[in-house]
Structure 1
Amino acid sequence: MRLSVNPSRQNTEPGQEATFTLEVTNTSSVISGHQIRVLGLDPTWVQIDDPTISLFPDTSTSTTIHINLPVTLPSGTRQFVIEVESLTPPTETDQVRCEIVIPERTQMRLSLDPPTTTAGKEARVGVLVDNRGTGEVSTSLTGSDEPEQIAFSFEPANLSLQPGEKLLVSAILRAKRPWLGSPKLRSFQIATTSLGEGVIAQGSWVQNPRLSRGVLALLGLVVAGTIFAAVIAGSLSQVVDRSNANSTLALQVAQAAQTKAVTGTGSIAGTVDLATSHAPVSGVTVDLYQPSNLTSPAASVATTAQGTYRFSNLAAGSYDLSYTGAGFSELWYPGVSASNHAKPVQLRDGQRLTGVNISIGALPVSVSGKVTGLPATGATLALQLPTSNPLTSVSASATAPASATPNGVVVATTTLGADGTFSFSNVPSPETYQLVLTKQGDAPVVQTVTLSSGVSQSGIDLVLTPGNGVISGLVEGAQGPIGGATITATVGTTTISTVSLTNAPHVGSFTVDGLATPSNVSLNMSANGYAAQTLSITLAPNQHVTGIVVNLAPGIGSISGVVTTPTGTAQGGVIVTATFGSHTLTTVTASTGSIGSYTLGNLTVPGTYTVTFSRSDLLSQTVVVQLNATTPNAITTDATMVANTATLSGVVSESNGSGIGNATVELVSGSATYSVQTATSPTAGAYSIVGIQPGTYTLNFTRVGGLPISSIVTLTAGENLTKNQQLSPAAAITAQVVETTSGQAVAGAQIDLYLSSEYAPGATPLATTTTNTNGNFTLSNLQAPQSYLITVAYPPGSAPTTSYNVTTQEGVTVCATNGSTTTSSCQISIQVNG
């Protein structure tokens, strides 16, 4: 079985879908069934198109894995494992590791409670600060009003919120209180100081005068009763003071109810490493719980590339910690598998606690089984950590044949007896290992074993087969036999190497034995100053092939260069293949050091080489290079490769040029659909769709309440197409509120919006606004067509005086009174008392 996944690492915003394409190849000789599952992520986030597949021998199929991350997930790297288990004997399990990177995104929301308040010289308003982003935010609040007559202060003054955290701040407003006249309406706004424009909340303060009209009238009627009037005034003052005290108490109660229990100045930090090698583990989810609620974490973070994590802004108290990682069972601090055995971490007020460390994968299990087939006496069995080349070789000499040995980090080893049984104890789990069985003269055996947490495996069957195949011969050049040449024989995943003899009279002679038979052997010969050569030899059971004579041609030329993208970024991991006649040489561009560089040496000169550059995410390129005596080294054979996908980006805007946030941009072609929402900040209306397969698509732009626009676009591989689009305004409702008798504009009237089908007395409005100084209001960004009910109340907070039903139209502003698109004389008349 062979697995590949594309991509193995992906950047994904919370709330959006990440897709991974898994390709499974059946390398066995029988029809096999395979079960696919994802480890290390919440199962409710994962959907697999085809979790169970069947394959004929030497065939492949692909399935798509969809991962939908919760909107509240904090930033960081999440690692997970795609595991495929063969359901057909002999069963085997293989895994590929993947990563999802959640970028840090800042999103804050402010709301006032209440949005409108009535008070005298000082007013208190609750400001609910909601961190809807994926990273920690440190900020403060500021207040402003147009006449600049209000002084603002906030408790607390400085804020620090974790992702998903809410905090209620007390805003204190002070302004000079009028002695006489009508109540004064003061409009204000509260905003953050460090998150740019747009994070604001609007509010209104109705400030009562010290002596209202009612009090003056009462004083005029009872001029003679001065003492009685004083008593009444004192009583009224007590009522006002008691009302203010009650308002302050209610705000304190609301703040206490909404402030999270974990808010404070303490912190908890630590590291997560592997129990087997103590290497740091990134992408492990660490959840922090309060002991009174072990079902819902109070905070969650992911470990960094160095395996570290940290929780900030914690109050003094007791906390439990759980750790969940890709391919690992959940552990609770200090290393137990059940929450009821966890040891709470005690935190003092303001304490910065460090060293809360844990090692995962520490549950010991056993691995046992038996070797069958040929006699196992003297065979060596090793349990090692996985490696792509599980076997290496000991070179042959004139007296000793070559032999294969394990090539990974060996955890345990044993020498088998006549019965062939084996057992390894105290093996750390969960983990994936390779069992490597070697015996001189027999074919080496490699089998992968995947251990679940705390679950031992027994009954493992390893079959030892003959491996006494031999290939021998002579390596020579134009000047005679070549000593010290490297001969490498490859059978499947097993590689055995030796060198040709240098002592007379056997110079150039070589022997490679211990080869599995029957088999197809790839035999590669190379020597300094000569072009490498590869032969394919078929060995029958127990066959010894002798008399092989290999002539190596002079190879003093080379081809080298650098692979980049059109932006000049060097690209590692690109496969470079040079073909000359029946000879093929392959290398890979460097991923470290001189990234993107490559060299193919020891090439035959003269010669014409076809050089191909390929990588799964890039378009392949081919060039022809000629080497001759004048130019034996082609040192600037560079390649500029483009992506095999396209990118579409642009800005969606109004006719006045302002960007439109939260509009939908969609590419559709058959069953392929790409869809994104335009940004609200920092560039409103901006969008970008990446990873688009080349082809012709229908491009759709839509917004709530607006008219959609579609067009046809054709995208080619590597293309970065910019497509800007203007959309019609969204549906809106407008009118002017005037006084019935005088016809003068009414400023500060409260306008509430409801769905007509859902309206009921006491219902919460969908939106609320107030008329401006000219009595005008507009309710924008509405759905269309839709039937709405608007109500008008003056002063704000009083019972509505009138209401209208109106139906919106796509991309049109209509009159609130009759739904007409003619709004120049659209008025609502109300009776204003006193």
Structure 2
Amino acid sequence: MRVSSTVERLDVPPGGSGIVPLQVINTSAVIESLSVSVIGLPDDLFRSEPTALALFPEASGALTMTLALPDAFPAGTYPVTLVVSGSAPGARDAFHDLDLVVPPHPHLALSATPSRVRTRGRAAFVVEVRNDGNVPLDVALRALDSDRTLRTTLTPSTLSVVPGAVTSSTVLVRGPRQLLGSDRDRPLKVAAQATDTQSEVDLVLRQRSTISRGLLTALILLSILALWALAFLLGMKQVFGTDPFTKVAPPSFFAATVSEDGTTGTPENPNPAPAGALQKTDGPVPAGVGATITGVITGASDGQGVGRITVDAMRNSPKGLVVVSSAATQDDGSYSMAGVFPGSYMIRVSADGYETAFYGGTPTSDGAAFVAAPAQQVKSGVNMPITGLPATISGHVDTGEAPGVVAVTVQARPAWDGADPNTFYPAAPLPIDASGSYVLSNLPAPGTYELTFLAPGYQPTTITERVLGGQNRFALDVRLGAGTGQIGGLVTDGRNPLGGVQVSTTSAGKTLVVGTPTVGQVGQFVLPNLPTPATYVLTFTKQGFSTRTVVVDLTAGQIRGDLNIVMSGGAGVVTGTALDSSGAGLGGVTVTAGGSATTLSTTTLTSGAVGTFTLTGLQPGSITLTFTKPGYTSASVPVTLSASGPTAPVTVTLSSALGSVTGQVTQGGVGVAGATVQATDGVITRTTTSTAGGAHGAGTYLLADLPAGTYTLSVTTTTGGPVVATAVVTIPPGGVASQDLPIGGP
């Protein structure tokens, strides 16, 4: 047969199809029915039109091969061989080699379980990342909050997903507490970004109020009752009270009286009132005269707002500094102190894990700047940085191996805006200890850090952690995902590279098949994108050659290209059974085929069909099968292998090579029971005790399972006593020797 085609390179995208036209010439002398098979890819991916082509001698015809790839077919270049075969006996196959090129097609899909959670403050969502493409993807996840009121943490925030796989990440969401009101939906998105592809999924945090509507209604009713009671008491006091109104405000709360000469002082009050003070009037001070001071407290390290910081407004008094008003910062660092008496104050910020500071940038009140608080006005922009004490992040890393087997390192990089991307803590990667734990100390705080974990053969993993001042934070456990591996090598017949070999293995429950090219890099094969660590069983098959099976262990991310597979010519097969003398199957017998170019051997089965064996890869001709097993006599059987058909099963019976000796210990013609009988050939020693009964009566002994040979027998009647009788006996292979042992005479 001769075959030709204009297609030597076929580019087919995942989920697409391609066509390979073949022009075939029947070079045989008979009418042929031609069909096409494929080496290098599963046959079910191809369709031949027509399925069979009938040609007269020297006639030509056309065959069309249509290839349809599944959506997740891995990207890469695959050597494929199309084999055109005839049905007539002795027909020679024709081959056409081509390269199938599958381009990368990355595609991500996200889903969430659940996608909506009703809670008061925090919730956890599980986001599943599915790789619907045909290339491994390194996926970065991030949460998008449109109104910036939610705090989110993704664990892990980066994933490595192989084609067809699904990996999950946990999204922890925390919203600001809602004291009153109806349920409020806080939407957010989780976005996944990888090379040339991205996807999003919508999540909803539905927040309940801390105070329910029923409780709120009860509080309102109680408030109404309290107000009625208060009004009643105040009214009674106004009706029956005789004391004059005595409440007054300090002089500093009233503006100075302007004199005729334009000055603000008076003989009674030569010092003017502070700016913003109220005019003095008859009656009580009007309500709402207090000032409001607002600002934002930020971290000195990252410039981000810091929550739960105490802000104090302080004034001097005869007894020292006195706290006039206090407030706590919100999560974004903002604070507000309302109802502050008009005047000038020093502002102090403090919290556990942070250095105390005063407005103006001083650690003490000395040199602190004063903040003026005008009455009935808001003094805004009172912003301050606060310095946190160094923080610590610790955690545990799991590689799937025993602790200490994989060398893992970790480094922390500042992740806030304006941080130097080339700054790391520590400066050199920190090795994980033998138990898989790590501690990153002396981290500037507050701050957000990206922790990157690296290990040979594993995908880099990054998590994000935020630390507050002086915090000892325990990070979530990190599970490192191993990188994909690869197995490659060369298939030969012992001298030359061998093309057209089908190489198959199983990966993730699916069969992966590739072939060795017949032109170009003849005999080379590559199995790419294999999950690791794992053990793979590779099977090499080719018509006319014995099948080879090789077991390959891949460590995490390991790439092996050093396999050198030698396939033996000939596909002759001999089967048979080894039996013992009782006719039962005998397992563990070594069967060796001699007389051929290659010596092959196998072992009979010890379970299932015990005693059966199969020898493959034998050349046609005469061979000798040798059967050996310790304790049994060897046996050899000649077998003739024919190229026309299988050989009839061989049955061989092995005789035991172990013998025994038996007899009677006597004294004065009477059997002696309890005597110790020992047999030795200088290497093997066996011991037994004569019995009170048996085949010979009292004094009978039996020493079994002795290899054939000459043994010395000795008799003692007491433990450690002298030998009272001896004899020499020869045990035949598989036979029984008889020897009586009289005491005190021959």
Common fold, TM-score beyond 0.5?
A: no
Larger of the two Rg values belongs to structure: 2
Instruction: Work out which structure has the larger RCO, using CA pairs closer than 8 Å and 6 or more positions apart in sequence.
Output: 2
For the aligned pair, the TM-score class normalised by the smaller chain equals 0.3 to 0.5
